[in-house]
Amino acid sequence: MHREALRHLCQCYCFDRPCVIGSLLSSTNTEDSELDLLVKSRRGATLFTLAGLEQEAQALTGVRVSVLKPGFLSLRFRDDVMRQAEPL
């Protein structure tokens, strides 16, 4: 429902290629599930811009949003998450 606006927010905060990961892609999704986004950072992206993106995305969608970069993921399951990620 908010795909285009979320893609635009990612661009504004110096992040590219947003993908949905986590429980929203599986049958473990519940009403309390958060939106997990995996993004690639561009020059100018910082932890502050990442936090700003999370806050604006939460305000837009009305659900908790977690924004992650591939480097934040454990090496044990990073490849699996990257394969399962669905472009936003």
- Say how many residues make up the chain: 88
Q: Residue ranges per domain, the chain?
A: 3-87
At a CB cut-off of 8 Å and minimum separation 6, what does 56 contact?
9, 13
Residue 46: the pLDDT is 92
- State the CATH architecture for 3-87: 2-Layer Sandwich (3.30)
15-50: pLDDT as tens digits:
999 999 987 777 676 777 789 999 999 998 999 999
Distance (Å, rounded) from C-alpha 49 to C-alpha 12?
A: 9
CB-based burial label for 32 (10 Å; 0-12, 13-18, 19+): exposed
pTM (predicted TM-score): 0.86
Distance (Å, rounded) from C-alpha 29 to C-alpha 7?
A: 22
pLDDT reading at 10 higher than 80:
yes
69-84: pLDDT as tens digits:
999 999 999 999 999 9
